[in-house]
Amino acid sequence: MSYINNLNKRIKEYFNILEAEFPEWLNEYINTKELLFQQHTSITCGTIYSKLFDSKFFYSTLDHSVAVALIIWHFTHDKKQTLSGLFHDIATPTFKHCVDFLNGDYMSQESTEDLTTQIISKSKEIMTLLERDKIKLSEVDNYHIYPIADNDTPKLSADRLEYSLANALFTYDLIKLEEIQQIYNDIEIQRNEQNEIELGFKTKELAREFVKITSRLSIIYREDRTRYSMQFLADILKKLSEENKICKKDLYVLIESEVIKIIENSKYKQVFNIWKNAKKVKVSNEQPQDVYYVHHGAKIRYINPLVNGERISNICKIAKKMIDNNLAYDMENYVYLDFSI
């Protein structure tokens, strides 16, 4: 079954903005077993399954990866860089970054990336395609080597741009397609303070609007309900693992609905349903007693984009204030619901 031929209409419209002429050569890579598995994993890290969040649109890790590839292709027309973007989340397990929380990596959220090379190298389909196209594994298994594909926070890269646009459009309904078109059309490759290439804006007003959207998203990514949900799912998985009901390997072969069935057939069904149907988490300055709670920070994802080679925070007081307010978000609360595990 072809991924692109079965794509949701709204996603197709969005992809068309990112690259009007879809690179047909990419389809053979997309339709490999390892990448198609990612169409069952939500970019929301499992939060889509709780009423704590309003998001109902299922935008998959594969959708995200294809979109990142389209952005890279749009700006570079380089196959190797484009494939590095397509493959960058190929090692994503069920519930995505929840597994980073399971691994204790909730601050950097990169613990699953180590498997990227292994998964690609073990795929006969992908390796055959790479050999045919005379592309080395080392040229596509680490998108960090290409600054348009990925770079350090708070710079703007294809990956950071894509999950910002997609989350704002599909997951949290913060933006319309027309606004994405405006923002995207204003972006070009520029040179930053280190004389490195980086995606940047031509217009301060559109860059400021992008900062407004991404600052809101940045808080959503680490607010009380998000940190609680991701750690809760991670701890349920950990307990099921300790009871030999599931193992980490399963998270790379079972899709999210199958893992949810395992949870619902376990003794954790009741607490899972409480979380699933909750409308609001509870917070306290003091450690709550006799309940399951979460009390730690999370990775800060934010963007301070270039505008004609200068950081917007240096040339726009409004944007700087939005960024500063975002970075000041307090994650010191104890977060809980009325149950224990």
pLDDT at position 55 is: 85
Residue at 34: amino acid letter: E
278 falls within a domain: no
277 falls within a domain: no
265 falls within a domain: no
pLDDT at position 98 is: 81
pLDDT at position 104 is: 61
What band does 219 get if pLDDT is binned at 50, 70 and 90?
Answer: very high
Distant-in-sequence, close-in-space partners of 63: CB < 8 Å, separation ≥ 6: 11, 39, 43, 166
| CB atoms closer than 10 angstroms to residue 180 | 20
Query: Residue 327, SS3?
Result: helix
pLDDT at residue 99 tops 90: no
266 falls within a domain: no
pLDDT 10s digits, 114-168: 789 999 999 999 999 999 999 999 999 999 999 999 999 999 999 999 999 999 9
251 falls within a domain: no
| CB atoms closer than 10 angstroms to residue 285 | 7
Q: Which domain holds residue 66?
A: 4-223+300-327
Give the number of domains in the chain.
Answer: 1
Closest alpha carbon to 86 in 136, 34, 30: 30
pLDDT at position 56 is: 83
pLDDT at position 273 is: 98
Considering the chain, what is the average pLDDT of its residues?
A: 94
pLDDT at residue 113 tops 60: no
pLDDT 10s digits, 223-240: 999 999 999 998 999 999
Lowest mean pLDDT among 69-78, 96-105, 261-270, 306-315: 96-105
Calculate mean pLDDT across residues 94-101: 78
Lowest mean pLDDT among 32-46, 55-69, 89-103, 303-317: 89-103
Residue at 297: amino acid letter: G
DSSP β-ladder status, 310-311 and 306-307? antiparallel
What are residue 307's phi and psi, to 5 degrees? -130, 110
pLDDT at position 112 is: 55
pLDDT 10s digits, 16-54: 999 999 999 999 999 999 999 999 999 999 999 999 999
Burial classification of residue 179, based on how many CB atoms lie within 10 Å of its CB (0-12 exposed, 13-18 middle, 19 or more buried): middle
DSSP states of 278-293? -S--EEESS--SSS-E
Query: Residue 297, SS3?
Result: coil
Cα 55–chain centre separation: 15
pLDDT at residue 320 tops 80: yes
pLDDT at position 105 is: 52
128 falls within a domain: yes
What band does 96 get if pLDDT is binned at 50, 70 and 90?
Answer: confident
What band does 298 get if pLDDT is binned at 50, 70 and 90?
Answer: confident
Lowest mean pLDDT among 21-25, 104-108, 253-257: 104-108
pLDDT at residue 106 tops 70: no
235 falls within a domain: no
What band does 247 get if pLDDT is binned at 50, 70 and 90?
Answer: confident
pLDDT at residue 109 tops 60: no
pLDDT at position 97 is: 74
Closest alpha carbon to 208 in 303, 98, 86, 112: 303
- Gap between the Cα atoms of 244 and 18, Å rounded: 44
pLDDT at position 221 is: 95
- Gap between the Cα atoms of 25 and 134, Å rounded: 14
- Gap between the Cα atoms of 27 and 169, Å rounded: 24
Q: Which residue, chain included where needed, has tokens 């984009």?
A: 305
131 falls within a domain: yes
CATH number of the domain that 31 lies in?
Answer: 1.10.3210.10
- Gap between the Cα atoms of 304 and 253, Å rounded: 37
Helices (H) then strands (E): counts for the chain: 16, 7
Calculate mean pLDDT across residues 51-75: 96
* β-pair partners for 197: 191
Count the alpha carbons within 13 Å of 58 in the hemisphere toward its beta carbon. Answer: 13
